[in-house]
Every structure is written in structure tokens, then in C-alpha cells.
Amino acid sequence: MITILLNLLIKIALLILLGYVLCRMGYMSEDFQKSLTFFMMNVACPASLLTTAGNTFDPSESSSLVIIFVAGILFHLAALAIARPISRRLPLTPREQDAYVVMSVFSNTAYVGFPLALELMGSLGLLYAVIFNLAWVLMFFSIGISIFSGKGTFDLKGVLKMPVTLMSVVSILIYVSPLRITGVLLDTLNSVGAMVVPICMMLIGCSLVNVSPLDILRSGKSWMVAALKLFIFPLLMLLAMWLIPGIPNNVKLACCLMSCLPSGSLSVVLARQYGCNPVYCSQTVVQSTLLMIVTIPVYLGFASSLFPVI
């Protein structure tokens, strides 16, 4: 696990560094970054979501998949209910409060969660991670976007019109149906969807141009996010899985894994899109990604001892 985390951290660091250097050299202007953000949210991200519909639906795992999906929805709702009132009591501006809530609740489920699930639990663990990610997608691209937009109300009509929301619904419908995306079309979607992570990380690098490395580690506002994201919420998930009877251990372990991941890099993209302090978001994402090297092995080691998978 440590090797996987270190490899992920190195890839993330190199991509962030690339964005930082390109921005410093003037190759990633503000207008270019806005164009990349638009491409990310309206083309690359929807393509990435559609690729999840290519996974095989196993009827024998139906009950476990339902549990994972419901757990994902309930986890995010509970986290939102906790993070919002806490944010209002912290020394943050209103827009920083919005960013605090989103970054505390929504994790880097795909780029960090998927390889860890595959390593710890094999192909079944990866399937569980994909289903949990579907819950994340529905919550992030509806409630998460409504918070970042700063409108104060949930614009259901506006959210449903977004390409990412439409593709989230379409991917779930395809996944539970006999239909499958295969062949050249799937390969094309995979190629386009693979751009999501590099673009996200390079945009983070651009946001850090005027920030020193020490500022990232000394940012008290980012540590406030880490307290919830990497410590409190994972412990609450662990407690819930321990108290609820009848859930298979592999499902419990998968839920614990998906609850302890660092803040999602897409938060930076949305912060840039909606003018919600992208520098703060970038600092927080980088800081929580660094901290995961310590927190994830300790937490998952404890979870594995409570919920051993044979």
C-alpha cells in the first residue's frame, strides 16, 4: 500500500509541477486556464463518467452493490450536515466556508481510491469503489456544484442541464441495463476521460504560482479541512460499519477505504470556475494529499483488523 501511495504522490507532484512551470513560463495564461476548465467540465469529465458504464454488472453482488451505493449517499449527506454548521463557526469568509464544506466532504475517489481498492481487495474491491464513486458523482455534481456556485439554493433544473450530471445518470442507467459501451467508442471515451487527472493537477499547479511551499504546510485553514476529511469522517464511517450488523466485511472495508481519501482535485476546477478562492482550494488539496501518506495506512490497518477479508 505504501508503494502505491508513494507512486501516486510522485505522479501528482510531477503533474502539479508541470502546471506550475508552464504557468510561470507564460504558456498557461488565465484565458487558457479558463478554456481548460470548460473542456474539463463539459467534455473530459462526462467522457470519464461514461467509461464506468462499461463495467460488468454481476447480479450475485446486487445486495452488496446496493449497500455500497446507499452508504455512499448517506455518508456524503451526513458529512454535509456536519461540515456546514462547523464552517460557519470558523474564521472563514463566506466563499471560503463554501470551499471548506466541499473539500471536507468530497474525496479524490477515482484517482486515489481506485488503485488502492484494487490493491487491497482485487477486482471486487475495484467494483465496490466504482459504485461508491457513482454516489460521489451524483452528490458532487448536484449539491457540490450548488454550494460552489454560491446561489444558496439548489437549482435542480440548472444542475440537470449540466453535461456531467446528464452523463452521471446515463452511466448508471447503462450499468444496470443489458447495454454496454464497448469497442472503439469505449476506447475513445477512455482516451478523452484520461485527460481529467492531468488537467486537474496542472490547474492546481497554476493556482500555486504565487504560493510558497511553506504556506501550504502552515495554512491553518487547510488543516481545518484535514481534521474533518482525514480524521473525523473516516472514524465516523468506521464506527457506523462496526455498529451496523449483517454487512459483509469486504463491503465494510470498502466503505472505510472510500471515506479516508484526500480532498478531490475537481474542487480546484470548480473553485476556479465559480471564483471561490482557488488558491485556498489548491493549498488544501495538496496538503491533504501529502498527509494521506501517513493517515491512510494507519486507518486502513485498523479497519482491516476489525473487518478481516478472507
Say if residue 216's pLDDT is above 70: yes
User: Mean pLDDT, to the nearest integer, of 117-123?
Assistant: 76
pLDDT of residue 252: 94
User: Mean pLDDT, to the nearest integer, of 249-266?
Assistant: 91
**Contact (CB, 8 A) for 270 and 110:** no
**CB-facing half-sphere around the CA of 200: CA atoms within 13 A:** 23
Tens digits of per-residue pLDDT, 39-69?
A: 887 888 788 778 766 666 666 667 888 899 9
Cell 464552517 -> residue: 87
Say if residue 2's pLDDT is above 80: no
What percent of the chain is predicted at pLDDT more than 70? Answer: 90
Give CA–CA dist 56/254, Å, rounded: 18
**Contact (CB, 8 A) for 237 and 256:** yes
Give CA–CA dist 168/121, Å, rounded: 25
Helices (H) and strands (E) in the chain, counts: 17, 0
pLDDT of residue 261: 92
pTM: 0.78
Give CA–CA dist 275/18, Å, rounded: 23
**Contact (CB, 8 A) for 236 and 242:** no
Domains located in the chain, CATH noted: 2-306 (1.20.1530.20)
